[in-house]
Amino acid sequence: MALAAQQSLLDELMGKGRNAAKGEKIHKYRFDDPNVCKYMLVDYCPHDLFVNTRQDLGPCDKVHDISLQQDYQKSSRYEKLGYEDDYERFLKSLISDVERRIKRGQERLRITQGDPNADNDPHSLKNEIINKIKSLEEKITSHVLKSEQLGNDCRIDEAQQVLNECEEMREEKKNLETQLAEEQANADMNKAMEVCTVCGSFLIVGDIQSRLDEHNSGKQHAGYAKIRATLEDLIQRKAQMLEKERTRNVQKQEPSNRKRDRSESKDEKSKRHHSPSSHHHHHHHRDRNTKQRESSRETNDHHHHRSSRHENNSSSKERHSPSTNHRHHRR
């Protein structure tokens, strides 16, 4: 495993043709070549994260070339070939595996260590033994004083009975102290454990900081932490791309919507122009104009008639005037 990882690292840094003989033709890979690792093109290959750990994925059989990654990310086809979706699915499968392992580990600890809130809590049992020992010590001291008082009162038999009870309590106290020592030893051997919610490893509760730092910087923990961060970033980038796409679609639809609105507005105006009410208004307006013209014609006829009558009257007066008759007579 270690040798394969070293070869993969050298291939990534120096290329697959690093050992080619002079004059030997070296195959030039493109980023869309089937033999090229698409995970490496997107970001990094997860196979390189867990080398020589319990979660080792084995060496990747694809080509790792940082220059191909740069070519892909500068290409016009970047994020359009589905590589990111495949990468996201693979990372999700790795996280699903570790989540199942975390769940199994937590279930195992519940079975072996029990529920800390249950009655069989070892800390609760230890405190109970300590309280019993303290109570016995107080009773023993009281019985010793009582036996001395009875001896001073020459009540020998009663004093002896109190001393016998005192010895029984000393024996019980001794047994409790032995039990307490065993419980303490078991607690030291079986320290409370917990499961790391990032990588699924077992940790000692309340362990010293240096051991926790060593765990957090280890390949397994750091690898899964990196995968979780990468997966979150991929999901966020995808959401941003979808939002940009939606915005572009809305912007594309706006001109057509405005054009459609203008067309609908023209149609509405056309409908109003040819509507019955419009025709009625038009006919009404035409009738009114016709009436006005007829009224004007009648007025003109009336004036013309009056003018004609006036001219006829004037002519008649001239014919019948005396001066005219006289001139006519003299002639």
Asked if residue 259 is part of any domain, the answer here is no
Q: Minimal CA–CA distance to 60: which of 125, 130, 4? A: 4
| Same domain, residue pair 57 and 94 | yes
Q: What are the tokens at 201?
A: 């490893």
| Same domain, residue pair 187 and 76 | no
Asked if residue 235 is part of any domain, the answer here is yes
| Same domain, residue pair 162 and 33 | no
β 193-195/202-204 pair status: antiparallel
pLDDT at 218 over 90: yes
pLDDT > 70 in the chain, percent: 64
| Same domain, residue pair 178 and 240 | no
Cβ–Cβ under 8 Å, residues 101 and 137:
no
How far is it, in rounded angstroms, from Cα 235 to Cα 8? 28
- HSE toward the beta carbon, residue 180, CA cutoff 13 A: 15
| Same domain, residue pair 73 and 221 | yes
What residues contact 58, with CB distance under 8 A and at least 6 apart?
Answer: 1, 4, 47
Asked if residue 307 is part of any domain, the answer here is no
Q: Minimal CA–CA distance to 196: which of 99, 111, 52? A: 99
| Same domain, residue pair 18 and 158 | no
What residues contact 190, with CB distance under 8 A and at least 6 apart?
Answer: 113
| Same domain, residue pair 50 and 98 | yes
Asked if residue 208 is part of any domain, the answer here is no
Q: How confident is the model at residue 267 (pLDDT cuts 50, 70, 90)?
A: low
How far is it, in rounded angstroms, from Cα 51 to Cα 158? 78
Is the pTM higher than 0.85? Answer: no
Cβ–Cβ under 8 Å, residues 263 and 257:
no
| Same domain, residue pair 10 and 54 | yes
Asked if residue 7 is part of any domain, the answer here is yes
Q: What is the mean pLDDT of the chain?
A: 77
| Chain segment 123-136, per-residue pLDDT in tens | 667 788 888 889 98
271-291: string of b/e by CB count within 10 Å (b at 16+)?
A: eeeeeeeeeeeeeeeeeeeee
> Among 10-19, 78-87, 166-175, where is mean pLDDT lowest?
10-19
Q: 163 by DSSP, 3-state: which?
A: helix
Q: 204 by DSSP, 3-state: which?
A: strand
- For 109-119, what is the mean pLDDT? 65
Asked if residue 270 is part of any domain, the answer here is no
Torsion angle (degrees, nearest 10) of CA 173, 177, 180, 181: -170
Given CA atoms 171, 175, 176, 177 in this order, what sign does their dihedral have? positive
| Same domain, residue pair 12 and 92 | yes
Q: How confident is the model at residue 298 (pLDDT cuts 50, 70, 90)?
A: low
Q: What pLDDT shows up at residue 204?
A: 87
Q: What pLDDT shows up at residue 47?
A: 95
**H-type alpha helices, the chain:** 2-14, 38-42, 66-74, 83-113, 122-152, 156-189, 209-216, 219-273, 276-320, 322-330
Asked if residue 262 is part of any domain, the answer here is no
| Same domain, residue pair 7 and 45 | yes
| Same domain, residue pair 150 and 171 | yes
Domain count, the chain: 2
Does residue 206 come out as left (phi exceeding 0), alpha (psi in the -120 to 50 range) or beta? left
Which residue range(s) make up the domain with 132? 118-191
What distances in angstroms separate CA 164 from CA 134, 141, 146, one per listed residue? 19, 13, 12
| Same domain, residue pair 68 and 93 | yes
User: What distance separates the 2 farthest-apart alpha carbons in the chain?
Assistant: 208
Asked if residue 144 is part of any domain, the answer here is yes
